Structure 1
Amino acid sequence: MNRSTSRQLGLAAVAALLLAGSATAWADDGAYPNPSRQVRIIVPFTAGGSSDVQARMLADKLGRMWGQPVVVENKPGAGGHLGGKYVADQPADGYTLMVGSIGLHAAYGVYKKLPYDPAKELRVVTVLAEMPHVVVAAPGLPVKNLQELTAMAKKEAGSINFGSAGVGSSVHMMGELYKMQSGAPIVHVPYRGSSAALNDLLGGQIQLMFENPPTVLAHIKGGKLKALAVTSKERLAALPDVPTAPEAGMKDYVATSWTTVAVSSKVPEAVVQKISADVRKVINTPEFRKGLQDQGMSAVANSLPDAQAFVAREKKRWDHVIAQGQITAN
């Protein structure tokens, strides 16, 4: 054996050991390994939003299952992509998870340049939950339903501003879909997360949001916001008196946002399979499903292949909205 061949074999052996080390970095529990130290769940948005609520529910249950602390860290910015890039760059050991969204996986076409490729550098292990959005208005906006909203927006072009969690976020895309289907010239105002936008909606600085249910339920029930419609075919159990968009006269305005659990695509297959299986076990418990339902969400917990196929379909759909609306991030 010559020196070059020997060196190549040596490097291959080192690479194999490194891969094996990352795949077995979790402590054996008799089945496939559990984590042997703290696990982090990154939320690429500010605290208090829907993704944050779900991440904290998940962290609690996974921590109990694994017998290790699971902590949530918020890393907002760039429509979630600061957090997405951070997760993509983490070591391939499975100790960093992320709760992702439409913006991270399906609407990143709004960015002409990103410092990473979400499709290649992040891997969805399951779709966590799915939910319609709620079209909510400030109490001072003189409309009671979608028909009145559209009429006012067309009559007074540019007078109605809607806030979002950032360009390309699900909250933004739901507003753009409404604009595309209704022809209402409402104006988008992006924020650094839903919490900031919601504060301005409550304060009257903006007039409208297309928000996830968990973020606005308490404000609707407390009379601080008006719910005009939900973007689903059926009424939301948490808001039984709020009509669906089809009931409100927009038969095609049906869309849901969704969240995922994702990891860096560098994480070995065996660890990905373990994380996917355990996360789905948690989501499918009656307690967790009830917790989601109380927040206006439905559990999904699909398999790895089904999750990949779902995200691909959704990306195609939102790419169309982005192209039609000529939406770009600065």
Structure 2
Amino acid sequence: MNVKSPGTLSRRHALLLSASAAASLMGPAAALAQAPAASYPDRAVKIIVPFAPGAGTDAMARLVAQKLGEVMNTSFVVDNKAGASGAIGTQYVAQAPADGYTLLLVASPFTTVAASLPSANYDPLQQFAPVGLIATGPLVWAANTKLPASTMQELVALARQKPGVLNYGSAGAGGVNHLVLELLKARTGTYITHIPYRGVAPATMDMISGQIELVTGTIPALLPFIKNGSIKPLAVTSARRSSALPGVPSMLESGFSGIDVVNYFALMAPRGTPAAIIESLNAAIHKVVALPEVVTRFKADAVDAMPGSPAQLGQFIEADYRAWRNVVKAQNLKIE
């Protein structure tokens, strides 16, 4: 919460021969360790999306799969394995062979669900190898236009005056939309009633009609309603403003330090995947996010490219997971 050379042999053949020669000197075990990295990828790679087609995570996976395929000269195929708030697809990858041919496209539920739902039955820190962060983007706090609060400070003041009266709709219990509310409540000592929906869209419709007062959602999901005046934005959930909503303050500007919540997109692999394969994929991610068409797409989706090393992604995932675990404990949440 709070990253072919010319000559007699092609470069690929030269690498294979070099790896083979080195392996023969180092023994059978070393040969087995070297071979996958030297030839990777030599067949299609699956990217598992733990959500249904059409969701934001699915759209990101399809963009990344297409561009990784172009960069690495092989097929990257998206496979949706939805269910249990993302846990089914995530568990599938945790149990897959650690050979680089089954990857997981993760977003914030990867850590929030593991932190809040005991039934998730996977460990984001112990069962996966970080490959690379792709992009991040904040959510935006939005309210019904009739709510007598137009800033986060006014919202908190109203919540203190009327404990439990304000209703907040989330995309489902245990997701980032839910836990960002619990984080605000924990930091401000307020009580706002949480109402879980099956997605942000129906919650937004109920907010527009006046059945609930508040939601958070990704900027692309809420921007059309902000532009036409159906809802009003209060703040983005991050510590800095979003270029997609330049007139909307950040949480830090709103007077709430230490609250920096972003949705993220990253690739993970099963634990034990060879480091050389991880490094190859990470280098490809850096190339993908720098492509002009990807830069344009990210801008439209209100996310920022955030490539970094596998180690940096590992640190990011650990910090996010532990922060949400602390929120779950502080609020004594019991989610099943």
Q: TM-score range by the shorter chain?
A: 0.7 to 0.9
Structure 2 residue 244 is the aligned partner of structure 1 residue 241: no
Alignment of 1:285-304 (within 5 A): 285-304=291-310
Taking structure 1 as reference, are residues 253 and 307 closer, same or farther at Cα in structure 2, changes over 3 Å only? Answer: closer
TM-score of the superposition, structure 1-length normalised? 0.80
1:105-134 Cα offsets, whole Å, 9 max, x none, are 366232334433332222221122122221
1:34 corresponds to which residue?
A: 41
- Counterpart pick for 2:219 among 213, 235, 244: 213
The RMSD of aligned alpha carbons is: 3.0
- Counterpart pick for 1:105 among 100, 104, 111: 111
AA aligned opposite 2:40 = P
1:76 corresponds to which residue?
A: 82
8 Å contact kept, 2:240–2:251: no
Structure 2 residue 159 is the aligned partner of structure 1 residue 150: no
8 Å contact kept, 1:107–1:319: no
Q: Which moved more, 1:54-63 or 1:248-257?
A: 248-257
What is the rounded CA distance, in whole Å, between the counterparts of 1:46 and 1:194 in structure 2? 15
Deviation at 1:19, TM superposition (A): 6.9
1:160 corresponds to which residue?
A: 166
Q: Which moved more, 1:277-286 or 1:128-137?
A: 277-286
1:182-224 Cα offsets, whole Å, 9 max, x none, are 2231122334444554455455544322222233223322333
1:74-133 Cα offsets, whole Å, 9 max, x none, are 433333222211221233332322221333136623233443333222222112212222
Secondary structure of 2:307's aligned partner: coil
Structure 2 residue 178 is the aligned partner of structure 1 residue 172: yes
What is the rounded CA distance, in whole Å, between the counterparts of 2:186 and 2:153 in structure 1? 15
Structure 2 residue 267 is the aligned partner of structure 1 residue 261: yes
What is the rounded CA distance, in whole Å, between the counterparts of 1:177 and 1:48 in structure 2? 28
AA aligned opposite 1:183 = G
Taking structure 1 as reference, are residues 321 and 92 closer, same or farther at Cα in structure 2, changes over 3 Å only? Answer: same
Query: What stretches of structure 2 of length at least 5 have no aligned partner?
Result: 1-26
Deviation at 1:56, TM superposition (A): 2.6
Secondary structure of 1:218's aligned partner: helix
Taking structure 1 as reference, are residues 173 and 15 closer, same or farther at Cα in structure 2, changes over 3 Å only? Answer: farther
Deviation at 1:290, TM superposition (A): 3.7
8 Å contact kept, 1:165–1:191: yes
Alignment coverage as a number of residue pairs: 310
Q: Which moved more, 1:202-211 or 1:226-235?
A: 202-211
What is the rounded CA distance, in whole Å, between the counterparts of 2:169 and 2:208 in structure 1? 11
Taking structure 1 as reference, are residues 17 and 253 closer, same or farther at Cα in structure 2, changes over 3 Å only? Answer: closer
1:119 corresponds to which residue?
A: 125
- Counterpart pick for 1:229 among 230, 235, 239: 235
What is the rounded CA distance, in whole Å, between the counterparts of 1:170 and 1:162 in structure 2? 13
Taking structure 1 as reference, are residues 142 and 129 closer, same or farther at Cα in structure 2, changes over 3 Å only? Answer: same
1:29-69 Cα offsets, whole Å, 9 max, x none, are xx7533423x3322223444442332232122123223444
Taking structure 1 as reference, are residues 248 and 306 closer, same or farther at Cα in structure 2, changes over 3 Å only? Answer: closer
Alignment of 1:37-56 (within 5 A): 37=44, 39-56=45-62
Secondary structure of 1:314's aligned partner: helix
What is the rounded CA distance, in whole Å, between the counterparts of 2:230 and 2:107 in structure 1? 27
Structure 2 residue 335 is the aligned partner of structure 1 residue 329: yes
What is the rounded CA distance, in whole Å, between the counterparts of 1:53 and 1:314 in structure 2? 23
What is the rounded CA distance, in whole Å, between the counterparts of 2:134 and 2:199 in structure 1? 20
Structure 2 residue 101 is the aligned partner of structure 1 residue 95: yes
1:318 corresponds to which residue?
A: 324
What is the rounded CA distance, in whole Å, between the counterparts of 2:111 and 2:80 in structure 1? 18
Structure 2 residue 277 is the aligned partner of structure 1 residue 271: yes
8 Å contact kept, 1:106–1:311: no
Taking structure 1 as reference, are residues 112 and 232 closer, same or farther at Cα in structure 2, changes over 3 Å only? Answer: closer
Identity %: 34
Structure 2 residue 171 is the aligned partner of structure 1 residue 188: no
Deviation at 1:261, TM superposition (A): 0.9
What is the rounded CA distance, in whole Å, between the counterparts of 2:210 and 2:31 in structure 1? 59
What is the rounded CA distance, in whole Å, between the counterparts of 2:33 and 2:208 in structure 1? 51
Q: Which moved more, 1:198-207 or 1:263-272?
A: 198-207
8 Å contact kept, 1:76–1:193: no
8 Å contact kept, 1:48–1:215: no
Secondary structure of 2:125's aligned partner: helix
